[in-house]
Chains A and B, each alone.
Chain A
Amino acid sequence: MTNLDWVVLVATLAFIVLYGMWKGRKNQDIREYLLANRSMPWYAVGLSIMATQASAITFLSAPGQAFSDGMRFVQFYFGLPIAMVVLCVTLVPIYHKLNVFTAYEYLESRFDLKTRSLAAFLFLIQRGVSTGVSIYAPAIILSSILGWNTNITCIIIGLLVLLYTVMGGTKAVSHTQMGQMTVILSGMAIAGILTVYMLPDEVSFVDAMKVAGKAGRLNVIDLKFDPSNQYNIWTGLFGGFFLAMSYFGTDQSQVGRYLSGSSVGQSRLGLIFNGFIKVPMQFCILFIGAMVFVFYQFFQPPVFFNNVEVNKVKQGAYATQFQALEQEHTIAFQAKQQEVKGLLDAIHTDDESQITAAAIRFDTAEAKVSGIRKQAIDLIRKSNPEAELNDTNYVFLTFVKNYLPAGLVGLLIAVVFSASMSSIAGALNSLTSTTIVDVYKRTLRPHEDESHYLLMSRWFTFGWGIFSIIVALYSDKLGNLLEAVNKLGSLFYGVILGIFVCAFFLRHIRGGATFYAALVSQGVIFALFAFTPIAFLWYNVIGCLLVVLIAVLISAGQKKAALQ
């Protein structure tokens, strides 16, 4: 990174942190600290919802995903707009009417304390651990590409967030998230435009899209139904709907965002804003990845994007073999470049038979390059069986570092920090809300004054922040479990959603039936995760339906017993 990059990075982050501290400097009580006194306008609610959901990995992983697998990942978000509508009609007005701080408060008024506590407990486990991973995941990527120390990067990200969340609470979180989303969206837009601009002069934007399309990178829609495939339209619509219902309807990190809206209407508009924006935004981020793929058809990419793993293999017993593969990769890439040019010439002729023949030659050349890459990955595995073999998350930032001009690299690193900080801040705020409202104030110390709860809220925010940093520092020990932790949300969301579905829509079901149904269902979901290949999005559907089904059966059994 150049000095200009450092200036841009430090200035952007300093502005965001100081702005958050200034905006959140006056907090009188926990209503103001946890809900911003329910004063936020719809656009602040909408951007805050978006910023909490979009972690750094969203902006690093999605372009890499499109680079290696195409744009079908966008289907993951198809259930979201439908869920936004359902939430606006059902949960949002009820939460506002009941004047709750957390989603779980409602469960006690509908069921009982143990069901409220179970849902709050499940939330605290999964959100507490996943917040740590949210710090670690971008830190490891930044460290690998920029040569920074991973632990120090984790600590810096965590402490920057703590500076304004401890002091300012929800108000600081929401206001900084607006600034962070501005940085993120402008940074990504500039990166996208520059990617196309940096293509060779003879390659137009339409040419680039046609090359990406022929290489299978513009495959947005997949209509084929396959429950083991994460990204087809059916998984996206059904699994994605249940996931979004659970995440936005019952996860306090999101419920807390729209409860800060100044009215039911403002909260609804914030959600609807996401219903309109999220899918096109994700499409654009993936499209940048597809353009990065085209860029790397003309400029040679590394054989493997994770430089740390490459350096390890080069220092080990397989160094000579790896270097030979790198040379082979260069030769194969040069041969492929000729085929790309041939494909472009064929595209310009508009002759379908020529285009098909050129596309087949290109596919053959691409397969050869991919084959060499696979051999390189095998060597990395042999050299270090615990090496991370998926370099998808490293593609975009490697491109940014190697090809974007000075200043913009700093801006794009600021995008990664901003995305990371915005989702962590939302998570810490929600962990505090649930701890103080559903545990501390409800069970441990119910009769203290407001100033005590405000002080304890700040301490809990600080405590959760430190806990998350510690989880992040130990995340490298998780090894292959890291992927499992990324799926943590889906392991719990379906069951939590099932509890809320029983609460809202099945009036005859009582707390006991729901509580035991949730316990059994959670066990079944863990078993499915351990012993079956089912795509994780389906856990949301299965978990929810299981809770409802078992609760209905228990309830029917109780009714029958009472009649006898």
Chain B
Amino acid sequence: MTESEDPARNTSELPPFLNTWRKMYIAVLVHLAVLILLFYAFTWYFE
């Protein structure tokens, strides 16, 4: 699939934070990973 055929890349609108959608997606996944780690620590601490 070329870039012009890929509508995901074709969009010109950038996110309001972090400049690129790729960084935005990474932020969501990192946020999830951090939450899971914090929840694990929370479970372990109060067990």
Q: Return the chain A residue nearest B8 by Cβ.
A: A93
Interface residues of A in 270-322 (CB under 8 A from B): 272, 275-276, 279-280, 283
Whole-angstrom distance between the alpha carbons of A275 and B33 in the complex?
12
**Contact (Cβ within 8 A) B43 A93:** no
Which one, B8, B29, B47, contacts A90 given CB within 8 A? B8
Whole-angstrom distance between the alpha carbons of A209 and B46 in the complex?
7
Contacts of A209 in B (CB 8 A): 46
Which one, A89, A93, A212, A276, contacts B31 given CB within 8 A? A276
A97-B7, A220-B42 are known contacts. Are A275 and B28 too (CB-CB below 8 A)?
A: yes
Contacts of B43 in A (CB 8 A): 218-221
Whole-angstrom distance between the alpha carbons of A280 and B42 in the complex?
13
Give the Cβ gap from A525 to chain B, nearest Cβ, in Å: 28
Interface residues of A in 209-237 (CB under 8 A from B): 209-210, 212-214, 218-221, 233
**Contact (Cβ within 8 A) A263 B36:** no
Give the Cβ gap from A280 to chain B, nearest Cβ, in Å: 7
**Contact (Cβ within 8 A) B7 A93:** yes
Give the Cβ gap from B23 to chain A, nearest Cβ, in Å: 11
Q: Return the chain B residue nearest A269 by Cβ.
A: B15
Q: Is the C-beta of A100 less than 8 angstroms from some C-beta in chain B?
A: no
A82-B29, A265-B13, A279-B35 are known contacts. Are A213 and B21 too (CB-CB below 8 A)?
A: no
**Contact (Cβ within 8 A) A82 B13:** no
**Contact (Cβ within 8 A) B45 A272:** no
Give the Cβ gap from A507 to chain B, nearest Cβ, in Å: 10
- Binary per-residue interface labels of chain B (14-34) against chain A in the complex, 1 for a CB within 8 Å, 0 otherwise: 111000010011001101100
Contacts of A88 in B (CB 8 A): 21, 25
Give the Cβ gap from B31 to chain A, nearest Cβ, in Å: 6
Which one, B10, B16, B28, B36, contacts A78 given CB within 8 A? B36
Contacts of A381 in B (CB 8 A): none
A81-B28, A82-B29, A275-B28 are known contacts. Are A265 and B15 too (CB-CB below 8 A)?
A: yes
Q: Is the C-beta of A341 less than 8 angstroms from some C-beta in chain B?
A: no
**Contact (Cβ within 8 A) A85 B28:** yes
Q: Is the C-beta of A175 less than 8 angstroms from some C-beta in chain B?
A: no
A93-B7, A264-B13, A269-B15 are known contacts. Are A81 and B47 too (CB-CB below 8 A)?
A: no
Q: Is the C-beta of B2 less than 8 angstroms from some C-beta in chain A?
A: no
Give the Cβ gap from A87 to chain B, nearest Cβ, in Å: 11
**Contact (Cβ within 8 A) B32 A279:** yes
**Contact (Cβ within 8 A) A82 B32:** yes
**Contact (Cβ within 8 A) A283 B39:** yes
Give the Cβ gap from B12 to chain A, nearest Cβ, in Å: 9
Give the Cβ gap from A127 to chain B, nearest Cβ, in Å: 27
Contacts of A283 in B (CB 8 A): 35, 39
Whole-angstrom distance between the alpha carbons of A94 and B32 in the complex?
26
Which one, B13, B16, B32, contacts A263 given CB within 8 A? B13
Contacts of B42 in A (CB 8 A): 218, 220
Contacts of A268 in B (CB 8 A): 15, 21, 24
Give the Cβ gap from A100 to chain B, nearest Cβ, in Å: 13
Q: Is the C-beta of A30 less than 8 angstroms from some C-beta in chain B?
A: no
**Contact (Cβ within 8 A) A213 B45:** yes
Whole-angstrom distance between the alpha carbons of A212 and B46 in the complex?
8
Interface residues of A in 66-93 (CB under 8 A from B): 74, 78, 81-82, 84-85, 88-90, 93
**Contact (Cβ within 8 A) A233 B36:** yes
Q: Return the chain A residue nearest B40 by Cβ.
A: A221
Give the Cβ gap from A43 to chain B, nearest Cβ, in Å: 11
Which one, B14, B32, B45, contacts A81 given CB within 8 A? B32
Q: Is the C-beta of A96 less than 8 angstroms from some C-beta in chain B?
A: yes
Contacts of B28 in A (CB 8 A): 81, 84-85, 272, 275-276
**Contact (Cβ within 8 A) A93 B46:** no
Whole-angstrom distance between the alpha carbons of A214 and B47 in the complex?
6
Q: Return the chain A residue nearest B31 by Cβ.
A: A276
Give the Cβ gap from A70 to chain B, nearest Cβ, in Å: 9
Contacts of B35 in A (CB 8 A): 279-280, 283
Give the Cβ gap from B34 to chain A, nearest Cβ, in Å: 11
Q: Return the chain B residue nearest A86 by Cβ.
A: B25
Contacts of B11 in A (CB 8 A): 93, 263-265
Contacts of A93 in B (CB 8 A): 7-8, 10-11
Contacts of B7 in A (CB 8 A): 93-94, 96-97, 264
Whole-angstrom distance between the alpha carbons of A233 and B36 in the complex?
9
**Contact (Cβ within 8 A) B13 A272:** no
Sort A-B residue pairs by CB-CB distance and give the 10 closest, nearest first: A213-B46, A265-B13, A93-B7, A220-B39, A275-B28, A218-B46, A85-B25, A81-B32, A97-B7, A264-B11
> What residues make up the interface of A, taking CB atoms closer than 8 Å to B?
74, 78, 81-82, 84-85, 88-90, 93-94, 96-97, 209-210, 212-214, 218-221, 233, 263-266, 268-269, 272, 275-276, 279-280, 283
Q: A96-B7, A233-B36 are in contact. List 4 more A-B contacts (CB 8 A).
A: A209-B46, A263-B11, A272-B28, A275-B28
- Some 30 contacts from A to B, beta carbons below 8 A apart, are A78-B32, A90-B8, A93-B11, A94-B7, A96-B7, A97-B7, A97-B10, A209-B46, A218-B42, A218-B47, A219-B43, A219-B47, A221-B36, A221-B40, A221-B43, A233-B36, A263-B11, A265-B13, A265-B14, A265-B15, A268-B21, A268-B24, A269-B16, A272-B15, A272-B24, A272-B28, A275-B31, A276-B28, A279-B32, A283-B35
